[in-house]
Amino acid sequence: MATRSRLDPKTLIEDFLEYLRVQRSVAENTLSSYEADLRQFLDFLQSETSESSLRPEEIDEAFVRRFLDRLATQKISLRSIQRKMTALRGFFRFMVLRGWMTKSPVEDIKTPRLETSLPQVFSVSEVESLLAAPNRTTNLGKRDSAMLELMYSCGLRVTELLDLELPSIQWEEGSLLVRGKRDKERWVPMGRPAQAALRDYIESARPELMKGRYHDSVFVNNRGLRLTRQGYWKILKAYATKLAFQKHLHPHILRHSFASHMLERGADLRSIQELLGHSDIATTQIYTQVNANVLKREYQKYHPRMGRAEETV
């Protein structure tokens, strides 16, 4: 065990997050979530112990289980509890790695299982309505059109879209250089409508939106600053509300729709995996379940004998 008998919680969290950022290349959005989860846990520990600093060996399994019980009384969602447990597992592994603990107190705690939920997708007609919704006579409408076209044409994650920079666009090849999770880069082809919308935005709308600023971020707000994830989410929800879509929205719904529609039209699962930037094909295979459910609904809706009692023989 390290010679330091007590540890400052704030410094400890900062050390752990820096380790994830530098050694594991964890995305900033994930780091922010982990930070909030860990601060919540350490605040709970301090409320239980009335200490401003921590003796790592005092953090045992019982503390963690009481923390989980507290979350249960607050009606925290199972998905959020799973994320908090993931943060705690990584945090305590880090503590063991640094020699501040001999054993992780969550080692024998099983995380509640969450049923796999299939991603919500738009139908082809809904996508077409969404892509036609922006007013392309305005600067913001041209920007929105380019964003939505790229999301559906390329199957991008929201962060990948917003991280795009001007040098990432390969006009001659009609493709984008996308930086995905853990800074893994991949080339993604653009469809012609997406290329046209992107060029129109960059040439005629972005210069005016920049308000004299200079940076390489492709998508900006009306003050010329890099568009945020929250900004994109507001834009998507506004168009979905305008079109009276009844789907449960998710920021990645166009990415999911891209994969589902590609698979539905016969694209190879491995090709979709590469386009999406999935490291494991098992992640991509969820879209086969989406399309199986669609086929089942279509069968039940259109087969002439569905809904009728079978004839006796």
Tally of CB atoms within 10 A around 301:
9
Is 250 catalytic? The answer is: no
Least confident of 30-34, 168-172, 294-298: 294-298
Same domain for 146 and 227, yes or no, is yes
Same domain for 129 and 266, yes or no, is yes
Is 255 catalytic? The answer is: yes
In degrees, rounded to 5, the angle at the alpha carbon of residue 228 between the alpha carbons of residues 224 and 233 is 120
Is 278 catalytic? The answer is: yes
Same domain for 156 and 35, yes or no, is no
Does residue 116 surpass a pLDDT of 90? no
Same domain for 170 and 284, yes or no, is yes
Highest mean pLDDT among 94-98, 174-178, 179-183, 218-222: 218-222
What is residue 220's predicted lDDT score, i.e. its pLDDT?
97
Which of 42, 62, 97 terminates a domain? The answer is: 97
Residue 3, domain member (yes or no): no
Tally of CB atoms within 10 A around 122:
22
Which of 47, 81, 97 terminates a domain? The answer is: 97
More confident residue, 250 or 225: 225
Q: Which two tokens stand for residue 150?
A: 């790229």
Report how far apart, in Å, the C-alpha atoms of 233 and of each of 66, 172, 238, 272 are: 35, 31, 9, 24
Is 303 catalytic? The answer is: no
More confident residue, 96 or 305: 96
Same domain for 93 and 128, yes or no, is no
The active-site residue, picked from 143, 252, 256, 261, is 252
Q: Which CATH number characterizes residue 269's domain?
A: 1.10.443.10
What is the extent of the structural domain holding 68? 9-97
What is the rounded average pLDDT of the residues 266-292? 75
Same domain for 67 and 159, yes or no, is no
pLDDT tens digit string along 240-264? 999 999 888 888 999 999 988 888 8
The active-site residue, picked from 84, 143, 157, 206, is 157
The active-site residue, picked from 84, 142, 143, 255, is 255
Is 93 catalytic? The answer is: no
- Counting the structural domains of the chain, the total is 2
Q: Which CATH number characterizes residue 40's domain?
A: 1.10.150
The active-site residue, picked from 136, 181, 226, 250, is 181
Residue 249, domain member (yes or no): yes
Same domain for 202 and 239, yes or no, is yes
Same domain for 288 and 181, yes or no, is yes
Is 199 catalytic? The answer is: no
Predicted TM-score of the model (pTM): 0.61
Same domain for 288 and 149, yes or no, is yes
